[in-house]
Amino acid sequence: MLYVVKMGWQEPGHPERVDSVLRYALQNVPHTVIDSLAPFVALCTRRSGGEDLRFLFAINLARGGLNMAYARMISFLSQHVHCLEGCCGAVVVDGADELFTKKIGREMIFMANRSGCAFPGKPLVEATGSLYNFTIQARVRGVDNLGAYQEGVRQLVEKLLSFATPPECGRRVLALHASSRRTSNTLLLWEMVRRYLTASRVEEISLRNGAVVDCRGCSYEACLHFGERGDCFYGGIMVEQVYPAVRQCDTLVLICPNYNDAVGANIMAFFNRLTALFRTDWQTFSKKRVFALIVSGYSGGDIVAEQIIGALNCNKNFILPGHFALMETANEPKSILRCPGIEERAELLARHIDMK
The amino acid at 234: Y
CA neighbor of 129 nearest in space, from 149, 154, 159: 149
CA neighbor of 273 nearest in space, from 209, 204, 207, 174: 207
pLDDT tens per residue, range 170-184: 789 999 998 877 779
Cα(156)–Cα(177) distance, integer angstroms: 32
For the residues 76-83, what does the mean pLDDT come to? Answer: 96
Cα(68)–Cα(61) distance, integer angstroms: 9
pLDDT tens per residue, range 111-150: 999 999 999 999 999 999 999 999 999 999 999 999 999 9
Which phi and psi (to 5°) does residue 111 adopt? Answer: -70, -40
The model's confidence at residue 39, banded by pLDDT at 50, 70 and 90, is very high
Q: Which CATH number fits domain 172-354: 3.40.50.360, 3.90.700.10, 3.40.980.10, 3.60.21.10?
A: 3.40.50.360
Any idea where the domains of the chain sit in the sequence? 2-162, 172-354
pLDDT tens per residue, range 199-239: 779 999 999 765 555 445 444 444 443 444 444 544 467 88
For the residues 328-346, what does the mean pLDDT come to? Answer: 95
Query: At 4, which helix (H) or strand (E)?
Result: strand 2-7
**Rg (alpha carbons) of the chain, rounded to whole number:** 20
Q: What is the pLDDT of residue 222?
A: 45
In order, the DSSP letters of 245-262 are HHHH-SEEEEEEE-SSSS
Cα(295)–Cα(326) distance, integer angstroms: 8
Cα(48)–Cα(71) distance, integer angstroms: 26
5 CB-near residues (< 8 Å, 6+ apart)? 34, 40, 55, 56, 57, 58, 73
Q: Which CATH superfamily is domain 2-162 in?
A: Flavodoxin domain (3.40.50.360)
Considering only 6-10, 46-50, 78-82, 128-132, which range has the smallest mean pLDDT? Answer: 46-50
Q: What is the pLDDT of residue 356?
A: 73
User: Do residues 195 and 177 lie in contact, with contact meaning Cβ atoms separated by under 8 Å?
Assistant: no
Q: What is the pLDDT of residue 102?
A: 97
Residue 189, pLDDT above cutoff 80: yes
Q: What is the mean pLDDT of the chain?
A: 90
What one-character DSSP code corresponds to residue 215? P
Which of 228 and 12 is assigned the larger pLDDT?
12
For the residues 72-85, what does the mean pLDDT come to? Answer: 96
Cα(314)–Cα(123) distance, integer angstroms: 6
The beta-strand segments (E) located in 219-298 are 251-257, 289-296
Half-sphere exposure of 253 (CA within 13 A, CB side): 31
Cα(312)–Cα(308) distance, integer angstroms: 6
Residue 191, pLDDT above cutoff 50: yes
For the residues 85-100, what does the mean pLDDT come to? Answer: 96
Q: What is the pLDDT of residue 52?
A: 84
Domains 2-162 and 172-354 share a fold: yes
In order, the DSSP letters of 309-335 are IIIIIIIT--BB-TT-EEEEE--STTG
pLDDT above 90 as % of the chain: 78
Q: What is the pLDDT of residue 48?
A: 67
Cα(46)–Cα(334) distance, integer angstroms: 42
The model's confidence at residue 87, banded by pLDDT at 50, 70 and 90, is very high
Query: At 75, which helix (H) or strand (E)?
Result: helix 68-79
Which of 165 and 230 is assigned the larger pLDDT?
165
Q: What is the pLDDT of residue 225?
A: 39
Cα(254)–Cα(269) distance, integer angstroms: 13
Cα(204)–Cα(115) distance, integer angstroms: 29
Which of 281 and 353 is assigned the larger pLDDT?
353
Residue 249, pLDDT above cutoff 70: yes
Phi-psi region of 340 (alpha: psi -120 to 50; beta: other; left: phi over 0): beta
Q: Which CA distances in Å does 32 have to 5, 75, 326, 343? A: 9, 23, 33, 41
